Chains A and B, each alone.
Chain A
Amino acid sequence: MTTVAELSNKHTVQWCPGCGDFPILIALKQAIAATGLNPKDIVVVSGIGCSGKTPHYLNTYGLESLHGRGLAAATGVQLANPKLKVIAVGGDGDGLGIGLGHFIHSCRRNVNITYIIFDNMVYGLTKGQTSPTSRKGFKTSSTPHGAIEHPINPVALALAADATFVARGFSGKLEHLTNLVKEAILHKGFSFIDVLQPCISYNHEQTYEFYNKAAYDLGATKGWKADNVEKAFKKAYEWGEKIPIGIFFQEKRSTYDDELPQDKDVPVALQPIDNVDITVMYDKYL
C-alpha cells in the first residue's frame, strides 16, 4: 500500500501561496494512494507552465516535457510500456492552446492515459496573458482591450473528440476532486478531467468565491447518469450561476494499446533485442 507520505518528496513546492494547484497535487497523491499503485510503475508527465512542475513534487517517475507536448510524450511512454500507469497534467494554455492537437487525438485514440488540465483560464508562468479558456472580453496584458475570441469548452471538446471519460473538478472541493482523480485513474482508456482552479495572481474573476457559489456536484444531482453523450453535451454548456462538476460521460471502449496487433505479454520496451533475425525479410529482395 502506498501512502501519501511516500508519494511526497523533500522539494519545496514552488507555486504561489494559495494557488489552486496545491489541492490538485494533494488530490493526485490521495487518489494514487487509494488505487494502491506502486510509485515505481507510475510516470507523471507534464508540459510547461505552473502545472508542468507537478512531476517534480511526486515520488514517482516523471517526465517534464515541452510546452504543449505532455500528451505526445505520455503517449510514447504508454505505447512503449502499457504496464506503466501514465498520468499527464497540463495547463489550459499548454493543453488547449499550443498542444490542442495532441489533446483531440488522444481523446479519439483512447490511449490509456489520465489527463488532468489545471484550468485557471489565464497564463500564469508568463505573467497573466489570455488563455484559450479565458472568457470573451477578459482583459490581460496580451489583450488589454479584452479577449476577442470565444473560449474553448474543454468538456464539450473532449466529448466531441470521443473521449471515454470526461469530467470536471474544482480544486476548492478536495474530497470530490480526489474521487474524480481516482475514478479517472481506474478508468481504462483516455480519462480527462478539466479542473477549475483559481489563479490568485492573475485571474481575479474565476476565484474560489466565484466557484464556491456556482459549482454543484453532478453526482449528487437526482437522476444524473454519465452514460449519455447528448445529455453530457447539454450539461457541458451549463455555465454561469450554476456550474456542474463531476463525471459528465464515461463509456467502455477498447484502448489504443488493446487494439495494437503486437504480442502483448511483454511490453515492447522490455522485450529482448539481442538477436533479431532479419533473414526472414530477405526473400523479397533476393
Chain B
Amino acid sequence: MAKNKVALTAGGPAGSGVFTIGAMFARSVQKLGLWVYYTADYASLIKGGHNSCYVRAEPEEIHSQIKLSDILVAIDKLTVQKHFEGLSHEGALIYDSSSFEINDIDMSKRRDIKIFAIPFTKLGRDLGDKIYGNIVAVGAVSALVNHPLEKLYVALEKQFGAKKGSEVVEINKKAAKLGYDYLKENYKGVSFKVTLEEIKNQPTLLLSGNEAACIGAIKAGVKLVAEYPMTPSSSILSFMAANENKYNIVVKHTEDEIAAMNMLTGAGMTGARCMTGTSGGGFALMTEAIGMAGLSETPCVIFESQRTGPSTGMPTYTEQSDLRFAMHASQGEFPRLIVAPGDVEEAFYESFKIFNLCDRVQTPGIVLLDKHLSESSRTVKVFDTSKLKVERGKLMTNEQMAKATAFKRYELTADGISPRCIPGQPNGMHVSSSYEHDETGWTTEESAMRIAQVDKRARKLLAIKDEEIAPKLYGDADADLTIVSWGSNKGMVLEAMKFLKNEGLKVNFLQILWVLPFPTKKVTEILSKAKKTLMVEQNHDAQMRGVIREFTGINIKETLLKYDGRPIDPEDIYFRAKEVLK
C-alpha cells in the first residue's frame, strides 16, 4: 500500500467540466496536508475535442508531474483509449458506465488495471442534472483512496460557496456522497494500492504561476494593467480585473497589444507602476513600444507567457522558444531586464522584485513565463513578505521638485540613472520622447550627445547587483553531471534529481533565473567547474545554450530538447541524464 502518494488523470471533451474533477480532488487532498501539483492539457476550442487534467499529491514537497497515473477518471471513451496505458501497475480506471461501454477496447496488455464502472451521468441526473456527474466521479475517487468526504466537502464549499450559494454546495455534496457510496457498495472487498490520510503540515497555498505572478505584482503596487487576452496569459487579465476594486488598479482590456504596450509608456510616465500580460503573438505587436519605453526610460513590466510558436502555432501548448525574441525585441539597443521564474514561488517573488529593479534603472522589464508554469498549480508555503520592500529608485518627491532648478530628466549622471519627475510636479516639465534626446528631452541628432545618451542608458544596468540576478544551484557542488535549464523545467529537473539520487548518481542543477542582465560571473564559475553538462529546454534551437555560450564562452554539448507542446517529464530527464553519465 502506498500511503499518501497518488497521481490522477481525468479526461473528457471540452465543456464537460473535466477540470472541475481535477481541481476538486486537488483542493481536497491539499486539505489533508499533502503537497499537490495540478496541470491541464487542453485544445484551442470550447466544446468537444479532448481535455485532460492531472493531479499529483505526496507527503513531501513535489515540483511537477510524473509520467504515470494511479487513477484514471474517464468521462468519455476517448479518454480510456488515450490514457489507459499511462496507468501505473495495478492502477484504477473509473469510467462513466452510464454513457459508454469499454468492452471493445483492447486492454489485454494491461490485465493489472482495476476497473470501476460508476454511472456518473445517471447518478448526476438522479439529482436533477447530469452536470453533477463530475462531482459523483470525485466522490468515487475519494472512496477508492479512503479519502474522508469531509475534505472534499470543504473543497466544494470553496469552489461553489461564494459564487453560487449554499444550495449549490449542498447538492454537490450529495453528488459526492452518491459517488462515494456507489463505489463502496459495489466494490466491497476490492482493495486499491493507494490510501490517503491526513498529515500534519504547515498551511499551503495552491495556486498557478499566473496567479502567483499577479499577486507579486499587486504586492509591488501595480496600479495600471493594460492587456489584450491571449492564451496562456489571459488569466492575468481576469485575475487583475477581479481584484481591481480591492486594490484600486485600473485594468484596461485594450483594443490590441499595440495599444496595451503604448498605454504603459504613458502610464509609466505618470509614476504609476504598470504592466501588461501577453504571449508571443501579442508580444510581437508590442515590440516597437518596448523600445519606446527603453529610450524614454519609462519603467513598466511585460508578463510574456510563452506558448508553442511561431505564428498562431499550438495556442494552448507550452514552449520556451521566445527567449531570444524577448532578449532582442524592438529595434536598436537599450537595457532591459528579463527574469524567467521556474515555479510558483519564483513567479511571486521575482514578479515583485522586477518592479523595484525597473524603477531603479528606469527601463522595461519582462517576466518570461511559459504555459506549463502559467497554468499549472502547485502548493507552496505561504509567501513570506517580511523582506519585501517597495523601492522607487530616483523618483522625485513633490518636495524635492518644489526646490528643483534647471531640472534635467535625462541628466548624464555617473551611474547613468537620472532623477525622474512626473507630470503634476513643478519645475520638471520635459518631453518623454521616442526620439534620441539631450539631457532635457529635446530631440537631438548630434553625435556627442547621441553617444553620451546610449552610454548612459547602457551604464544603468551596473546598478543591479550580482546577487540580485544570481542563478540557483541545486544539489552538491561536486557532481558528475550538471543539468542546466530554466523556466518551468525547473520542477521536472528537481523531480528527475530525486530518481537519480535514489540510484546514488551525483547530479546537480543550475537554474538560470535572470536572463538580462545575464549572471555571467556566477554561471561561468559553476560551468567551468562542471564535469559533464546537459542542457534541458523546451525548444528546438537550444536558445538558452546559445545565450550561455554568448556570455560565458562555454558550450554545453549535450541537450534534451522538446518542442511538441507537451512539458518534458522528469522521466525523460532521468533517462537522458543517465545516458550522458554513461
Instruction: Evaluate contact between B263 and A75: CB separation under 8 angstroms.
Output: yes
Q: List 6 other contacts, CB 8 Å, given A56-B443, A60-B429.
A: A66-B262, A66-B288, A72-B258, A73-B263, A80-B224, A286-B204
Selected interface stretch from B193-201, B213-221, B333-341:
B213-221
Is B205 engaged at the interface, CB distance under 8 Å to the other chain? yes
Is A281 interfacial (CB 8 A cutoff)? yes
Determine if B417 is an interface residue (Cβ-Cβ < 8 Å). Answer: no
Contact between A281 and B215, CB atoms less than 8 A apart: yes
Among residues 247 to 304 in chain B, which have CB atoms less than 8 Å away from a CB atom of chain A?
247-250, 252, 254-256, 258-259, 262-274, 288-289, 292, 296
Cβ-defined contact, A278 with B383, below 8 A: yes
CB atoms of A262 and B270 under 8 A apart: no
- Bound CA–CA A58/B429 (angstroms): 10
Contact with B along A9-33 (1 / 0, CB 8 A): 0010000000000000000000000
A281 surroundings in chain B (CB, below 8 A): 215, 218, 243, 246
Among B419-427, B457-465, B493-501, which stretch is in contact with chain A? B419-427
B390 at the binding interface (Cβ < 8 Å): yes
Q: Could you tell me if A66 and B433 are in contact, using CB atoms closer than 8 angstroms?
A: no
What separation, in Å, do the CA atoms of A42 and B423 have in the docked complex? 7
**Cβ–Cβ < 8 Å partners of A63 in chain B:** 265-266, 269, 296, 431-433
Docked complex Cα distance between A60 and B432 (Å) = 11
Q: Which of A75-95 contact B (CB under 8 A)?
A: 75-81, 83-84
Alpha-carbon gap, A202 to B114, bound state (A):
82
Other-chain contact of A65, B205, B268, B292 (Cβ < 8 Å):
B292
Complex alpha-carbon distance, A270 and B223, angstroms: 9
Q: Give the contacting residue for A66; candidates B246, B248, B429, B434; CB below 8 A.
A: B434
Measured CB to CB, the residues of B under 8 A from A are: 158, 203-207, 211, 215, 218-221, 223-224, 226, 243-250, 252, 254-256, 258-259, 262-274, 288-289, 292, 296, 382-383, 385, 390, 422-435, 441-443
Complex interface: chain A residues within 8 A of B442 (CB): 11, 56
List the A side residues contacting B220 at CB < 8 Å.
273, 276
The answer, yes or no, to whether A62 is at the interface (CB within 8 Å) is yes
Task: For B30, give the chain A residue with the smallest CB separation.
Answer: A286
Interface residues of A in 34-48 (CB under 8 A from B): 39-43, 45, 48
> Which residues of A have CB within 8 Å of B268?
76
Closest Cβ of chain B: how far from A120's Cβ, in Å? 21
A residues within 8 Å of B by Cβ? Answer: 11, 39-43, 45, 48, 53, 55-56, 59-66, 69, 72-81, 83-84, 101-102, 105, 260-263, 267-271, 273-274, 276, 278, 280-282, 284-286
Contacts of A280 in B (CB 8 A): 246
Minimum C-beta distance from A73 to chain B (A): 4
User: Are B248 and A64 in contact, CB atoms less than 8 angstroms apart?
Assistant: no
Q: B429 — which chain A residues lie within 8 A by C-beta? A: 39-40, 59-62
A261 to B251, CA, bound (A): 10
Is B433's CB under 8 angstroms from A64's CB? yes
With A41-B423, A76-B226, A102-B255: A81-B270 Cβ-Cβ less than 8 Å: yes
**Are the CB atoms of A73 and B424 closer together than 8 Å?**
no
Q: Decide if A76 touches B266 in the complex (CB within 8 Å).
A: yes
Q: Are B248 and A74 in contact, CB atoms less than 8 angstroms apart?
A: no
Contacts of A77 in B (CB 8 A): 266-267, 269-270, 423
The one of B243, B270, B289 in contact with A84, judged by C-beta atoms closer than 8 angstroms, is B270
B223 engages A273 (CB within 8 Å) = yes
User: Measured between alpha carbons, how far is A261 from B244 in the docked complex, in Å?
Assistant: 8
Report A-chain residues with C-beta under 8 Å of the C-beta of B263.
72-73, 75-76, 79
The smallest C-beta distance from B519 to any residue of chain A, in angstroms, reads 28
Q: Which of A11, A66, A269 contacts B267 (CB 8 A)?
A: A269
Once the chains are docked, how many angstroms separate the CA of A40 from the CA of B407? 13
Q: List 11 A-B contacts (CB under 8 A).
A: A62-B432, A63-B266, A66-B289, A72-B254, A76-B266, A77-B269, A77-B270, A80-B250, A80-B267, A278-B215, A278-B383
Contacts of A74 in B (CB 8 A): 266
A263 / chain B contacts, CB cutoff of 8 Å: 248
Residues of chain B lying within 8 A (CB to CB) of residue A267: 270
Q: Within 8 Å CB of A42, what residues of B?
A: 423
Residue of A nearest to B226 (CB): A76
Please state if B267 and A79 are interface contacts (CB–CB under 8 Å).
Answer: yes
Q: In the bound complex, how far is the Cα of B441 from the Cα of A263, in angstroms?
A: 33
Residues of B within 8 A of A76 (CB): 224, 226, 262-270, 274
Nearest residue (CB) in A for B263 is A76
Please determine whether B430 and A62 come into contact, CB atoms closer than 8 angstroms: yes
Q: Contact between A273 and B255 (Cβ–Cβ < 8 Å)? A: no
B267 neighbours in A (Cβ, 8 Å): 76-77, 79-80, 269
Q: A268 → chain B, closest Cβ, in Å? A: 4
Of B254, B256, B271, B433, the residue contacting A269 (CB under 8 A) is B271
In the assembled complex, the Cα of A269 lies from the Cα of B292 at a distance in Å of: 20
Q: Is the CB of A269 within 8 A of B272?
A: yes
Q: How far, in angstroms, from A48 to B288 measured CA to CA in the complex?
A: 13
Contact B273 A273 (CB under 8 A): yes
Contact A73 B205 (CB under 8 A): no
Point out the residues of chain B lying under 8 angstroms from A56, CB to CB.
431, 433, 442-443
Q: How far is the CB of B319 from chain A (nearest CB, A)?
A: 27
Smallest CB–CB gap between B453 and chain A, Å? Answer: 15
A282: B residues at CB distance < 8 A: 205, 382
Contact status B259-A101, CB under 8 Å: yes
Which partner residue on chain B sits nearest A268 by CB separation?
B223
> In the bound complex, how far is the Cα of B205 from the Cα of A99, in angstroms?
44
Contact A105 B255 (CB under 8 A): yes
CB of B272 within 8 A of CB of A81, answer yes
A101 touches which one: B252, B255, B289, B430 (CB < 8 A)?
A: B255
Residues of B close to A260: CB separation below 8 A: 250
Q: Are B274 and A80 in contact (CB under 8 A)?
A: yes
Expressed in whole angstroms, the minimum distance between the Cβ of B376 and any Cβ of chain A is 14
